[in-house]
């Protein structure tokens, strides 16, 4: 996880620094944002002061509705020292209470001409990429029928060869060999390939293949949500395998998030790409029944 300071945010988005310049080296530790409407009227239960605060028309309009003697007091309870910075959108006029408290408490007060919705989206994307928990998984990530399938298993088990068959069948490659997995919120994981191996597929006997040159630009995706984990393992004689589909669904936890899992034994004669396609359809059917 890289460190992000308010100063870096100012440089990235070309914000105007209105007040609180002494706080520009503050670290941003949370990639979520806060629009503190309820907090401005005294409801502080969900203040979450570690988040960047965004003020648009709604928030400033609500603030202007407060009586003059409440404005400073209410805002002082919201603009506390832990707040990394405040951003006012749309080039809106900034009330003097904001400037005063920003200077008193060394909280950077920033301004942008972007709309609140646009800026919210851009900030979430930027901060999630920089701050979201992440890990590197040895495997292959493929988009199968719109479902992100992470294929794992021991080296040489046939992960890349299976991915090649899926790509030939019209599905999309996201990452081969190494998958950068990132937890973008409390429920979702996204995966992508490291820049150095993006769009490449290593197949023993053929070497490293450029998937875009072989199958076209429409055969790859830059990023995909991970919806299903498929683990390939060597077939073991005498080991129990579910043959009737009566066993409870498996899950595997990645970065604290449970992901539906299917274990597929590998032996000669099994067409793994077709089995994975059916596993995706079966997982979709189970999801609809919940």
In whole angstroms, what separates CA 243 from the centre of its chain?
A: 36
Best-predicted range by mean pLDDT (35-39, 46-50, 87-91, 242-246):
87-91
Asked if 179 and 139 touch (Cβ cutoff 8 Å), the reply is yes
160 is in an annotated binding site: yes
Q: Which residue has the higher pLDDT, 183 or 240?
A: 183
Asked if 156 and 204 touch (Cβ cutoff 8 Å), the reply is yes
Rg (CA), the chain: 25
The residue assigned the tokens 């490659």 is: 173
pLDDT single digits (tens) 198-251: 999 999 899 999 999 999 999 999 999 999 999 999 988 878 877 767 678 899
Could you state, in order of their start, the residue ranges of all structural domains in the chain?
6-131, 134-289
Residue 3 DSSP class: -
CATH architecture of the domain with range 6-131 = 3-Layer(aba) Sandwich (3.40)
Secondary structure class of 19 (helix, strand, coil): strand
- Residue 120, token pair as written in the block: 């919210």
Going by C-beta distance under 8 Å and a sequence separation of 6 or more, which residues neighbour residue 54?
33, 34, 35, 86, 87, 89, 116, 119, 120, 123
Q: Average the pLDDT over 4-18 and give the result.
A: 96
pLDDT single digits (tens) 132-178: 888 999 999 999 999 999 999 999 999 999 999 999 999 999 999 99
218 is in an annotated binding site: no
Q: Average the pLDDT over 82-107 and give the result.
A: 96
Instruction: Tell me the CATH number of domain 134-289, given options 3.20.20.80, 3.10.180.10, 3.40.50.300, 3.40.50.970.
Output: 3.40.50.300
pLDDT range class, residue 290, cuts 50, 70, 90: low
158 is in an annotated binding site: yes
At residue 2, the pLDDT reads 65
153 is in an annotated binding site: yes
Secondary structure class of 100 (helix, strand, coil): helix
Q: Which residues have a catalytic role annotated? A: 138, 159, 177, 243
């Amino acid at each position: 996880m890289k460190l992000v300071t308010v100063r870096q945010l100012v440089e990235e988005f070309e914000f105007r620094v209105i007040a609180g310049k002494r706080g520009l080296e503050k670290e941003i530790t949370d990639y979520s944002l806060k629009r503190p409407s309820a907090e401005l009227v005294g409801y502080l239960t969900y203040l979450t002061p570690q988040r960047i605060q965004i003020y648009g028309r709604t928030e400033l309009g609500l603030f202007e509705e407060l009586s003059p003697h409440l404005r400073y007091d209410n805002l002082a309870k919201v603009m506390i020292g832990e707040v990394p910075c405040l951003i006012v959108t749309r080039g809106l006029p900034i009330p003097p209470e904001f400037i005063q408290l920003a200077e008193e408490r060394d909280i950077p007060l920033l301004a942008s001409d972007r709309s609140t919705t646009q800026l919210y989206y851009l900030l979430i994307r930027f901060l999630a990429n920089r701050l979201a928990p992440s890990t590197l998984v040895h495997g292959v990530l493929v988009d199968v029928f719109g479902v992100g399938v992470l294929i794992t298993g021991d080296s040489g088990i046939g992960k890349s060869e299976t991915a090649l068959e899926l790509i030939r069948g019209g599905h999309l490659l996201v990452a081969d060999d190494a998958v950068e997995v990132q937890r973008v919120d409390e429920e979702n994981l996204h995966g992508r390939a490291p820049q150095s191996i993006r769009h490449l597929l290593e197949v023993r006997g053929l070497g490293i293949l450029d998937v875009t040159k072989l199958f076209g630009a429409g055969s790859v995706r830059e990023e995909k949500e991970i919806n299903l984990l498929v683990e390939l393992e060597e077939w073991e004689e005498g080991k129990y395998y579910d043959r009737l589909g009566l066993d409870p669904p498996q899950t595997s936890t990645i970065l604290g998030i449970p992901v539906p899992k299917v274990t597929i034994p590998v032996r000669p004669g099994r067409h793994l790409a077709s089995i994975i396609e059916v596993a995706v359809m079966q997982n979709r059917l189970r999801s609809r029944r919940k």
